Amino acid sequence: MKDDELLKDEKVERVLSPHPLSFMRFQSLGIYLVVWGIVFGWIVNMSEWGAAFSGSENFIWALLLWGIGLLLAGVVASLITVRWSIFILYAAIFGSGAGLVFWLGLQDSIGLFAPIYTIFLSIGAFVTIEAYRRSHKYVITNQRITFKGGILVKNERTLRYDKISDLNAKQGIIGQIFGFGTITPISQAGFGLGSDKAEATGGVMLGEKKAKIFGMIGGGKEIQNPMARSYYELHGVHPYKKVKKLVEQLVQGNVITPYQKEQVTFQKEQVDIQKQMRDLLKMQSDSKEGEEPESEENKEKKGS
């Protein structure tokens, strides 16, 4: 954070960025591509089953094998994460690869092309993920947390500690091993909360030809969870425990506790009492000052 971005009396405590392994859910997609590329290359070129996939007459089987490996993994990953985008991504890789094979006439050398293409794409994926990771920057100051992120579109969020109502902390197994974790500050406005929605529907159709009965039943469930975009939370920060403690201390230092509230009220009352006493004393002294000249006049009158 540049000095001109800092507020008055603001001091930077820590500047953080996500751990290189904190985007493993994306990186694992690339790792699978590398593994499948190597395994496919081995099956087609080096294994005992290689003969079944070699030659221009058998290239379609090799293409099918490659596609099945990609699409099956896409379906499994999509079902686990409930995100069809993974399947679409793998389907696009398969589609583009198959298109290139036909367009460039690489039917004879699919055993070489498909592994290289798969590994090449995975390298591209790794580079993109790394660029995305590096775009994240979290600045923890004594007054606020600033979250920044995004490759093309720059996103930024600033959160003052007194506006944080809750802190959610999460550490997966890889995070526990490598010492990183995610801290999601939830603001009083509800920023940092998301919802998981699950829906189930079923339908039945009865009857033949003309008379048909159609019934449908469905249900849904929505659960609110602490979640935010990686550039709106302290995503995969290292060292997790120290950062968590620091944020908690800063929040604690900026949020008034019930005891402190009591103390403030008590002090206010004390100040009010003191003010009243001061006013009374002032009034008394004023009245005394007013009385004193009168008494002198009286004395003069009495003397005359």
Partner 1 sequence: MEGSPADIVLFAPLAPILGVILFWFIQLLFIESEKFLLDKIRPNHETLCRFTNFLGILFQSICHALGFTITKSGISDFYISVNYGRVAPKKEKKGIFEWIANAFLFVGPFFIPAFLLLICLIFSPVKFEIITPPQLLELKYTFAGQIMTFGTSLHSFAESFFGFLLNIDLFHPGHLGFLLLLIFLGMGIRPSYVGEQKHEKVDMLYDLRNIWSLISHKPLYVVILFFLAYMFFYVSLIFDKILGVNNDWYIAFFILLGWLSIISIASIIIANAILYLIKITDKLEGIWKFIPYITMPLSYLIIRLIFFNILIDYKLFLSLFGMVLCTVIVTYLLLYFKTNKFKTKRVIKKSKKKSKGETDER
Q: Going residue by residue from 176 to 215, which x/- string records binding to partner 1, judged by CB under 8 A?
A: xxxx------------------------------------
Token pair in block for residue 193: 């909360």
Q: State the Cα angle at 250 between 246 and 255, rounded to 5°.
A: 150
Cα–Cα distance for residue pair 123/29, rounded to 1 Å: 11
Cβ-based nearer residue to partner 1, 174 or 277: 174
Cβ-based nearer residue to partner 1, 36 or 231: 36
Among 7, 15, 31, 38, contact with partner 1 (rule: CB under 8 A): 38
Cβ-based nearer residue to partner 1, 70 or 251: 70
46 binds partner 1 (CB under 8 A): yes
Cβ-based nearer residue to partner 1, 161 or 240: 240
123 binds partner 1 (CB under 8 A): no
Q: Which of residues 251-280 bind partner 1 (CB under 8 A)?
A: none
What do you get for the CA distance between the two ends of the chain, in Å?
Answer: 85
32 binds partner 1 (CB under 8 A): no
**Cα-Cα-Cα-Cα dihedral sign, residues 230, 232, 233, 238:** positive
Query: CA separation (Å) from 28 to 14, 47, 238?
Result: 29, 26, 20
Cβ-based nearer residue to partner 1, 46 or 271: 46
Q: In this structure, how many other beta carbons lie within 10 angstroms of the beta carbon of residue 67?
A: 18
The order of strands in the sheet holding 234-237 is 164-170, 181-187, 234-237
User: Could you tell me how many residues of this chain bind partner 1 (CB under 8 A)?
Assistant: 9
Cα–Cα distance for residue pair 154/41, rounded to 1 Å: 40
Helices (H), the chain: 24-45, 59-81, 84-104, 110-134, 173-178, 240-254, 258-303
Give the three-class secondary structure for 13.
strand
Give the three-class secondary structure for 104.
helix
Cβ-based nearer residue to partner 1, 30 or 185: 30
51 binds partner 1 (CB under 8 A): no
Among 7, 15, 31, 42, contact with partner 1 (rule: CB under 8 A): 42
112 binds partner 1 (CB under 8 A): no
The region of 37-45, 62-70, 106-114, 225-233 touching partner 1 under the rule CB under 8 A is 37-45
Shortest spacing between CB 163 and partner 1, in angstroms: 32
- Please report, as ranges, the residues that interact with partner 1 according to CB under 8 A: 38-39, 42, 46, 173, 176-179
